[in-house]
Structure 1
Amino acid sequence: MPPQGFLNPEQVLQNWDVRTGEKVADFGCGPGFYDIPLGQKVGSNGKIYAFDIRLEALETTRAKAKLFHVFNIEPTRADLELARGSGLRDMGVDKVLVANILFQAPNQSAVLDEAVRVLRPGGSLLVIEWNDNDISHPIPSSKVNKEEIKTVILSKGLILVKEFAAGSHHYGLVFTKKE
């Protein structure tokens, strides 16, 4: 049975094996929706790199981190559609989260290329996007077809390990980068 409700970060993250001490990149963090629970999961020895192109989103993420006393979150402005746009080193993180940004990205492939570049072998990528048939989508013409995005990511050498309902309006896909 799918989780109830619009989109609950704690429920979504139950589908992703985030461990203490890991480094996680959140591509398109927005107001830090996932960053507080991620920061709590990785603990003080872990790190959350929270990327967004919008300064106001980063300020909100920074304020939430302070409010919840989660000090391992590093909000950073980045254009993830540019080559090496995150500024992270190659294979420098254990996990990459790409949640609700592909429908906004004119160059989805470039965002995914950057995610694959920074992900270590054996690391995992979590993609969250709007369901194809959801009529409440903010920009209906820009929905990201689940089968198409799976094909694109598989073509980049990742392996699909899990599909799940990420709330009542979204799907989740977990991929692993080959060792």
Structure 2
Amino acid sequence: MIMNFSDPKSNVLQMGLREGMKVADLGSGSGHYTLAASGIVGSTGRVYAIDIQEDILKNVQNAAHSAGRRNIETIWGNFEKAGGTKLRDHSVDAIILSNVLFQLEHVEEAIHEIKRILKPQGILLVTDWAGAYEGMGPAPEQVVSEHKAEELFITGGFYKVKDFRAGPHHYSIVFTAP
């Protein structure tokens, strides 16, 4: 059986990324969103793949090398802690947060770190599971609904730009920083 999942490139295109932008993919995992953003921001841009799992970042490095992408930098970090991304204040134009919201233990701290590194009026893409799907994705009690995600980030000071279906099992919301 073939599963139809979210398409990182289609979702990243919804952000309005441009050549030369700096993007942080927080909780980058295997790097699908990192690679999608890398192709859009081009050789003058930069994508930071940040993950708490050091081993998985090696896979991102290998995928970047195989794809000939030299604009990807991997960072072993924890964005649930102040300074955990190891990036400077207001240093990125956009942030991708894909399939990690349901895993966060310290959401408020994560939102503070996102605000710290994102430039004013910067773009934030939040993509996550819309539900629990018989063993795919998070357990039912871990699912962060689209409404709850919107509430968390608006309470955190972000402005909602739009939302869209990010595939049959995911939602996406685009925000801007204050």
TM-score using structure 1 length = 0.93
SS in 1 for 2:32: coil
What SS is found at the alignment partner of 1:34? helix
1:85 corresponds in structure 2 to 84
Name 2:117's counterpart in structure 1: 118
Does structure 2 retain, via aligned residues, the 8 Å contact 1:159–1:176?
A: yes
Using the size of structure 2 for normalisation, the TM-score is 0.93
Residue 14 of structure 1: how far off its partner (Å): 2.3
By how many angstroms is 1:109 displaced? 1.9
Q: Kindly provide the amino acid, as one letter, of the partner of residue 131 in structure 1.
A: A
Aligned residue in 1 for 2:147: 147
**Deviation beyond 3 Å, 4+ runs, structure 1:** 132-136
Contact 2:8 2:33 in 1 (8 A): yes
**In structure 1, distance between residues paired with 2:127 and 2:93:** 18
CA distance, structure 2, for counterparts of residue 58 and residue 27 of structure 1: 12
Structure 2: 5+ residue stretches without partners: none
Q: Go from structure 1 to structure 2 and tell me whether the alpha carbon gap of 1:55 and 1:133 turns closer, same or farther (over 3 Å shift).
A: closer
Q: How many residues are paired up?
A: 175
> Contact conserved, 1:112 with 1:153, CA < 8 A, in 2?
yes
Contact kept, 8 Å, 1:26 with 1:97, in 2: the verdict is yes
Corresponding residue for residue 72 of structure 2: 73
> What does 1:97-116 correspond to in 2, within 5 Å?
97-116=96-115
CA RMSD of aligned residues (A): 1.4
Partner of 1:5: 4
The question of whether the paired residues in 2 share the 8 Å contact of 1:46 and 1:72 is answered with: yes
Three-state SS of the structure 2 residue aligned to 1:162 is: strand
Q: C-alpha separation between the residues in 2 aligned to 1:134 and 1:147?
A: 18
**Matched position secondary structure for 1:120:** strand
Which amino acid counterpart does residue 75 of structure 1 have in structure 2? T
Equivalent position amino acid for 1:123 in 2: G
Residues 100-150 of structure 1 show CA distances to partners (whole Å, capped at 9, x for unaligned) of 111111112211221111110111100001004644333222111211221
The equivalent of 2:33 in structure 1 is 34
Q: Which amino acid is 2:53 matched to?
A: R
- What's the % identity of the aligned pairs? 35
Alpha-carbon distance in 1 for matches of 2:4, 2:131:
17
- Aligned residue type for 1:79: N
Q: Which moved more, 1:61-70 or 1:103-112?
A: 103-112
Q: Which amino acid aligns with 2:142?
A: S
Question: Gapped runs of 5+ residues in structure 1?
Answer: none
**C-alpha distance in 2 between matches for 1:137 and 1:50:** 21
**In the alignment, is the contact (CA less than 8 A) between 1:25 and 1:51 conserved in 2?**
yes
Cα pair 1:163 1:173 within 8 Å, conserved: yes
